[in-house]
Amino acid sequence: EPTERGVTATLEQRGEINRLIEELEDGWRGSSALEGANRGRLLRECEVKYVGQTSSVRANAAGGRFRGRVGRLVFATTGLYQHVLEVGMDRFIAVNMICFNFMGIIPGATILRGDVDVLGTSAIAALEAKYNT
């Protein structure tokens, strides 16, 4: 059932999705997503179907303010994509593309770019607390 990429997910839906994500993450535990066979699973272009953030009032972890409450009204999301790309020896970037209809009428898109780094457990915990995941 559609959940506006997680924004409108019920507690029950969120719980089931999070359980499935945890199962997938457990399968990777102890390995690097940037090494061996895992590289192809990370370094790819894909559509974002779910963001586990519990509140998207001001902004959203995937799409920033374009995916906040006001942003979704003004820029109705029609597509959300994330591409993780290698741009040099052990250097990676994430390119997020948000497709939308401005005021529900005019199609448009914006691209957000960021560097990719491997985070330790304390940095991950801080991000989870910040984004309420």
Residue 54 CA from chain centroid, whole number: 13
Instruction: Provide the whole-model pTM.
Output: 0.66
Q: Pick the range with the lowest mean pLDDT from 13-17, 42-46, 95-99, 111-115.
A: 42-46
Task: Indicate the SS3 state at residue 84.
Answer: strand
Largest CA distance in the chain: 47
User: Who has greater pLDDT, 108 or 44?
Assistant: 108
Whether 10 and 50 have beta carbons less than 8 Å apart is answered as no
Ranking 49-53, 96-100, 115-119 by mean pLDDT, the lowest is: 49-53
Helix, strand or coil, per DSSP, at residue 78: strand
- In this prediction, residues 44-60 reach a mean pLDDT of 71
In the 8-state DSSP scheme, what is residue 19?
Answer: H
**What is the average pLDDT across 117-123?**
81
Rounded Cα–Cα distance for residues 116 and 96 (Å)? 12
Residue labelled with tokens 């945890």: 22
| Better-scored residue on pLDDT, 102 or 9 | 102
